[in-house]
Structure formats: C-alpha cells, structure tokens
C-alpha cells in the first residue's frame, strides 16, 4: 500500500509569510505526528493528532499549528515565518495498535529567506 | 518521562568491519525502543523495534540490537558494514500505547572503502 505522502517536497518563503504543509498517512492509520528536523536541534516533536484531536504537543510557539481531517489527512501551518523555521518537516503515521512504530514521509523542506 | 542518549554523534568504520552504535535510555514505563535510519534527504525508516518480547531484536539489512535493562542500553550492531549503511541513525524511546516518542540526537555512520 502507499506510504506517507507529504506535499510540497520543497518550498521557499520569506519572513513574515505563512505556510501550510500537507500529509496523507498510510491508509488505515489514524495517528499523524509532525516533527521538525534541523542540523542544530535535531528531530523535535511538534504535535500528534489522533482521530481529528490533538493528543500530544511539543514545545513550540503558537505560530505552529495543525489539524487533522476525518480522512486522517493532516495539515500543519506556520504563521509569521522566521528564518529559524527553515527546516525539514517530517510527518509520520501510525496505526491504532499503538505499538509506537512510526512510518515517515520524505518530508517537506522549508527555506525561509 | 522518557529520553534517549546516543553516545556517539559520529562513527566511522571500514567496509566489512563491525558496526556498533550506542544508545542509553531512560523511561518511567516499560519502554518500547526503536532504531530508525535516515539516508540523505529522505524520511526515516524503521530498522528494528523492541516491545518487551525477546531482548535480542533482529532488524532489516543485517542489523540487530540487544535490550539490556540492567544497563538501560539498546545498542545497535551489524557484523559487517556495507557502503550503503552510511546514513544517520536514531535511537527512539516510546511508551507502549503512547505515541509520545523521544528521539536521540542521532549518530552519523560513515563507511570507508
């Protein structure tokens, strides 16, 4: 079956703009998690959604938000972009068995100029 | 709370020699432990997972890891490195039935010809 799909794969924005990233999980997976990956901070957990509800949230400012739709697809939004938001944003889905195994997409690489 | 510490940020081996990537964990729960691999500009791929079954876990591509509760360790090994093993490796801890996954800082594996 198809893996986790993230769009767009690459994007360039300027400071102050906002961006929306999309993630389509593996069919049947109800949990979607988002991570930010940067060379300096490594992989940092943003938030996790399960059945349209935010279940966990990392330590990021309110400019970072997300949502999940009834078909389990998820979007994350970053408003008022800053240079430091440049990163690879990874989405991961997991099944309801909750063994914790995450299936990752290839990421959306955001560059903020 | 749970966390992982990857003891080496960079490991360099010669092709055909053994690989050892070290990981120590801390968890208030009976942990689930994972190793993921990330090749350049790609998402993360699960190598193997431990979920309280056998303490020696075999994964893909000849990798294995041993869960040692007394040492709170979950080191990743491979008997013979291949050039294609060059990548970033992440040790991850999560509580069973909880998608609050904590990633280590990563170990970059270099394989010399």
Q: What is the pLDDT of residues A22-71, one digit of tens each?
A: 999 999 999 999 999 998 888 998 999 999 999 888 899 999 999 999 99
Q: What's the angle, vertex CA A33, arms to CA B40 and CA B95, rounded to 5?
A: 100
Closest by CA to A78, choosing from A13, A6, A32, A4, is A13
Residues A79-97: tens digit of each pLDDT: 999 999 999 999 999 886 5
Q: Are B15 and B82 in contact (CB under 8 A)?
A: yes
Kindly determine whether residue A45 and residue B46, on different chains, have CB atoms separated by under 8 Å.
Answer: no
CA distance A105 to chain B (A): 5
CB contact under 8 A, B103 and A43: yes
Please tell me the distance from the alpha carbon of residue B29 to that of residue B96, in angstroms, as a whole number.
8
What are B's interface residues with A at a Cβ cutoff of 8 A?
32, 34, 36, 41-46, 49, 51, 90, 94-103, 105-106
> What pLDDT, on the 0 to 100 scale, is given for residue A1?
66
In chain A, residues with a C-beta closer than 8 Å to the C-beta of B48 are: none
Task: Write B105-108 long-range contacts (CB < 8 A, 24+).
Answer: B105/A42, B105/B5, B105/B6, B105/B9, B106/A42, B106/A43, B106/B6, B106/B9, B106/B38, B107/B6, B107/B8, B107/B9, B107/B10, B107/B11, B107/B21, B107/B22, B108/B9, B108/B10, B108/B11
SS3 content of chain A, % helix, strand, coil (to 5): 5, 55, 45
Cβ-Cβ contacts under 8 Å, B46 against chain A = 101-103
Quote the pLDDT of residue A14. Answer: 97
B91, B33 contact by CB (below 8 A): yes
Nearest to B64 by CA among B52, B49, B86: B49
A-chain residues within 8 Å CB-CB of B49? 99-101
d(CA A79, CA A84): 13
Contacts of A92 in chain B (CB under 8 A): 43-44
Q: In chain B, which stretches have pLDDT less than 70?
A: 95-100
Please judge whether B43 and A56 are an interchain contact, meaning their C-beta atoms are less than 8 angstroms apart: no
Q: Tell me, what DSSP letter sits at residue A25?
A: P
């Amino acid at each position: 079956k198809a893996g986790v799909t993230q769009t767009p794969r690459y994007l360039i924005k300027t400071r102050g703009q906002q961006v929306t990233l999309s993630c389509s999980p593996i069919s049947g997976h109800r949990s979607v998690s988002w991570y930010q990956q940067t060379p300096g901070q490594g992989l940092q957990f943003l938030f996790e959604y399960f059945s349209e509800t935010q279940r966990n949230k990392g330590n990021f400012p309110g400019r970072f938000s997300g949502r999940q739709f009834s078909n389990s697809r998820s979007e994350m939004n970053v408003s008022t972009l800053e240079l430091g938001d440049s990163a690879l944003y990874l989405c991961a889905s997991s099944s309801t068995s909750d063994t914790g195994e995450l299936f990752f997409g290839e990421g959306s690489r955001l560059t903020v100029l | 709370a749970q966390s992982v510490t990857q003891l080496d940020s960079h490991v360099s081996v010669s092709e055909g020699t053994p690989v050892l990537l070290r990981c120590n964990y801390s968890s208030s729960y009976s942990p689930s432990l994972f190793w993921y691999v990330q090749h350049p500009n790609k998402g993360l791929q699960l190598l193997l997972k431990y979920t309280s079954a056998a303490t020696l876990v075999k994964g893909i591509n000849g990798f294995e890891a041993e869960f040692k509760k007394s040492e709170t360790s979950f080191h990743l090994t491979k008997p013979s490195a291949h050039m294609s093993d060059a990548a970033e490796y992440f040790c991850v801890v999560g509580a069973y039935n909880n998608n609050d996954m904590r990633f280590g800082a990563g170990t970059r594996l270099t394989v010399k010809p």
